[in-house]
Amino acid sequence: MSRPAVAILDDYQNNAFDLTDWSNIRSSADITVFSQPWKSEDDLVEQLQPFTIISLMRERTALPARVLDRLPNLKLISMTGGRTSTLDLDACTRRGVWVSYTGSSPSHAAAELALGLMFACARALPQAHANMRGGQWQEGLPMGMQLEGRRLGVVGLGKLGTYVARVGLALGMDVVAWSQNLTADAAREKGVRRVEKHELFADADVVSVHLTLSDRTRHVIDRVALSAMKKGAIFINTSRGPLVDEAALIDVLKAGQIMAGLDVYDIEPLPEDHPLRMLPNVILAPHLGYVVSNALAHFLQESAQNILTFLEGGVPPLKNPDVLNPSTAR
C-alpha cells in the first residue's frame, strides 16, 4: 500500500520546514513543497494530481470546482486560517474532500504593513532610497507630507482597522471611519468619528482599507470614491485587491491625482507586465501583510496538526462537517 502524499503549497520563502516540525507526518507520509507560483491552471492540476493531502496557505492558490474535479486522489485540504474566498467548499463536500482549518493569527502584521506603506508614501522612501543607491541626493523627490494634523480615513473598523486608527490618533491625526455596518456609537467607542463613504474619500489625506472580501464588499471602493480623493492623497490597501475597482484605481493613479501603497491585487502574483508595476506614484509589496514568522508558524503548526490528526484516523476541525455524512458526497 502506497504512502499518502502531502503537498505544501505556495511556500514562497521556503520556510515551512523551518517554522514547523513535520517529522511526525514524515513518518507516515511523503511531503513535497511547492515554492513557485503555478504557470497555469493545467500546470497546477498536473502537479497536484498525485496528492492525497494539500496544505493550503490562505488564498494563494485558488481551488475552484473545475480544479477540484480534476484531482481524483485528494482526500484532505488543510486550510490555514478560517476563511477563504478561493476554495469551493461545496465542491469539496460533493467530492468527499475534508477541509480542515486553523485559528486566525493573533498578529497585527497586516496593519503594521499598512502603516509602513503610509509612511513610505508620505515621505517617498523608496525613491529616496533609490537616489542614495544611485549616488544622488534629493533630486526629483516629491515634497513629503507631515502626517500630524492630517485626516486618516479608515475603511473597516475591525481588529486591524482599529489598530491603524489607534496609531493614527497617537500620531496626532484626525481619524474618521466608514464601513457598511459601522455605527456612530461603535466608532465613538474606539475614539474616532463615523462619516459617510463619500466624505471619507473626499476629505481624507490618507485612506487605509481594512475590510473582509465578500459579495457585498467586492468593488465597494469604486470609481466614484477614488475620483473624489483630493490631489496628493494617499490610498493604502493591505486587505484584498477585489475590494477596489482596479481599473478605476489605475486611471486615478495615471492622472497623478493620488499616491498608493498596495500589498494586494486582483491577480496574484501580479503579472510582470501589469500597469501597476509601471506607475511611479505606487509603492508595491508582494502580499506580505500576514507574512511574519510568528503568524506563519501559527498557521503551519495548526495545519500540520490537522494533517496528523487525519492520518491517525481522527477528525480535525472541519469547515465542511457535512462531508462526514455520506449522503452529501458523491
Question: Active site includes 219?
Answer: no
Q: Where on the phi/psi map is residue 5: left (φ > 0), alpha (ψ -120 to 50), or beta? A: beta
Q: What contacts 24+ positions apart, CB below 8 Å, involve 71-76? A: 71/45, 73/5, 73/49, 74/48, 75/4, 75/310, 76/52, 76/100, 76/306, 76/307, 76/310
The SS3 of residue 201 is helix
The dihedrals phi and psi of 309, each to the nearest 5 degrees, come to: -60, -45
Residue 311: C-alpha distances to residues 6, 52, 306 (Å): 11, 11, 9
Candidates 151, 210, 240, 298; catalytic one: 240
Instruction: Give the residue among 260, 230, 265 at the shortest CA–CA distance from 245.
Output: 265
Cβ pair 211, 219 in contact under 8 A: no
The dihedrals phi and psi of 315, each to the nearest 5 degrees, come to: -120, 110
The amino acid present at 16, given as its one-letter code, is A
Question: Active site includes 312?
Answer: no
Candidates 58, 150, 210, 287; catalytic one: 287
Cα(236)–Cα(121) distance, integer angstroms: 9
- Which residues neighbour 24 within 8 Å (Cβ) at sequence distance 6 or greater? 304, 308
Question: Active site includes 287?
Answer: yes
Kind and range of the H or E element at 261?
strand 258-262
All three cell numbers of 315? 477528525
Cis check: omega of the bond before 326, within 30 degrees of 0 = no
Q: What share of the chain is helix, strand, coil (3-state, %, to 5)?
A: 35, 15, 45
Kind and range of the H or E element at 207?
strand 206-209
Candidates 95, 108, 151, 268; catalytic one: 268
Centre a 10 Å sphere on the Cβ of residue 309 and count the other Cβ atoms it contains.
16
Residues noted as catalytic: 240, 268, 287
